[in-house]
């Protein structure tokens, strides 16, 4: 695996580096904040977003940490997966492994928003020795599916991909003006402020003749065919060795996106975190509170990262 490459850019207040990690089908891109030898933190964005989702939060977090926020495959500036390939949580976990190998980190923390939190949960369960702290931003770490629904959803995902491939042979990407693209994103994500939408579109659009197109791979809209049940989710949750902080928005994921019967999954997952001595807090705000109002989120994350760093210093090395 080639090492990660850093292209330095700078802003008035914070030096930010652009990250490029080669992968077999192209590259995974991202942004880096903080000192080179700072305590490493990987930041994973939500579905259809990109690493710009952390632009306003990271500058408010402890300066002694090294934050790497990636565009997950098919999002932002990262390459789309090869033709014929599905997007799924295990695939994203494999991408995290590729990024961590390129960065040569041996232990790190993760901040994950929404879908990024689900990738964080699965990675932390599969590679528990690699992760010391996890922050789930309006995410439960896992997205269980009712056992009776799994077959139906898998079939929908497979049929959806085959239909997409048929259509995309003659379909061209829709071209927008910048203003139309902002309007389109705000209609699809009512939780975003206009400023937040513009931040996400810095990496969410590609210039083209006659305007802009969205950079994301539209296959991410298809049903995820890799599903796990509540029982499997709780088993995975029990394998996480890291300290976990769950920050839920009062008008967030559960209100906006979860199906009516989702509570039968979210309640046991939250109870599972509490039973394992992890922390669950609720704050005012919506699903993108970390981007719209980062000052509500930053103190909680800062205290958590500081307490984890202090605990690690006190732990004698074997």
Active site residues per annotation: 114
* 8 Å CB contact between 161 and 219: yes
Label residue 254 exposed, middle or buried (CB < 10 Å: 0-12, 13-18, 19+).
middle
CA separation for the pair 228, 80 (Å, rounded)? 24
What are the residues facing 28 on neighbouring strands?
21
CA separation for the pair 139, 155 (Å, rounded)? 26
State the DSSP H helix or E strand holding residue 255, giving kind and residue range, or none if neither: helix 253-256
Other Cβ atoms less than 10 A from the Cβ of 217: the count is 17
Residues 6+ apart with CB under 8 A from 291: 53, 54, 55, 56, 57, 192, 196, 199, 200
* 8 Å CB contact between 43 and 31: no
CA separation for the pair 68, 110 (Å, rounded)? 10
What are the residues facing 10 on neighbouring strands?
15
The Cα-based distances of 201 to 33, 47, 76, 178, 181 in angstroms read 20, 14, 8, 9, 8
* 8 Å CB contact between 227 and 82: no
Residues 6+ apart with CB under 8 A from 209: 175
DSSP 176: B
Structure tokens at 246: 């769950």
């Amino acid at each position: 695996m080639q090492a990660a490459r850093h292209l330095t850019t700078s802003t008035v207040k914070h030096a930010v580096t652009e990250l490029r990690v080669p992968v077999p089908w192209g590259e995974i891109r991202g942004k880096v904040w903080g000192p080179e030898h700072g305590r490493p933190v990987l930041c994973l964005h939500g579905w259809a977003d990109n690493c710009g989702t952390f632009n306003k939060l990271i500058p408010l977090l402890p300066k002694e940490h090294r934050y790497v926020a990636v565009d997950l495959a098919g999002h932002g500036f990262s390459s789309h997966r090869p033709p014929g390939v599905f997007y799924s949580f295990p695939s994203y976990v494999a991408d995290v492994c590729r990024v961590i190998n390129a960065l040569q980190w041996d232990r790190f923390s993760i901040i994950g928003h929404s879908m990024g939190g689900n990738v964080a949960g699965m990675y932390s369960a599969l590679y528990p020795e690699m992760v010391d702290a996890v922050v789930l931003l309006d995410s439960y770490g896992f997205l269980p599916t009712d056992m009776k629904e799994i077959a139906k959803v898998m079939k929908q995902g497979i049929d959806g991909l085959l239909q997409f491939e048929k259509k995309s042979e003659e379909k061209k990407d829709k071209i927008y003006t910048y203003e139309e693209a902002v309007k389109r994103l705000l209609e699809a994500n009512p939780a975003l402020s206009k400023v937040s939408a513009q931040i996400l579109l810095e990496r969410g659009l590609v210039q083209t003749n006659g305007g802009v197109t969205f950079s994301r791979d539209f296959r991410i809209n298809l049903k995820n065919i890799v599903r796990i049940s509540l029982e499997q989710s709780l088993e995975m949750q029990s394998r996480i060795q890291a300290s976990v902080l769950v920050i839920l928005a009062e008008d967030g994921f559960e209100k906006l996106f979860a199906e009516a019967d989702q509570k039968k999954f979210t309640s046991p997952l939250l109870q599972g975190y509490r039973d394992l001595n992890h922390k669950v807090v609720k704050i005012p705000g919506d699903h993108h509170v970390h981007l719209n109002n980062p000052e509500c989120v930053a103190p909680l994350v800062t205290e958590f990262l500081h307490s984890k760093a202090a605990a690690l210093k006190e732990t004698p090395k074997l």
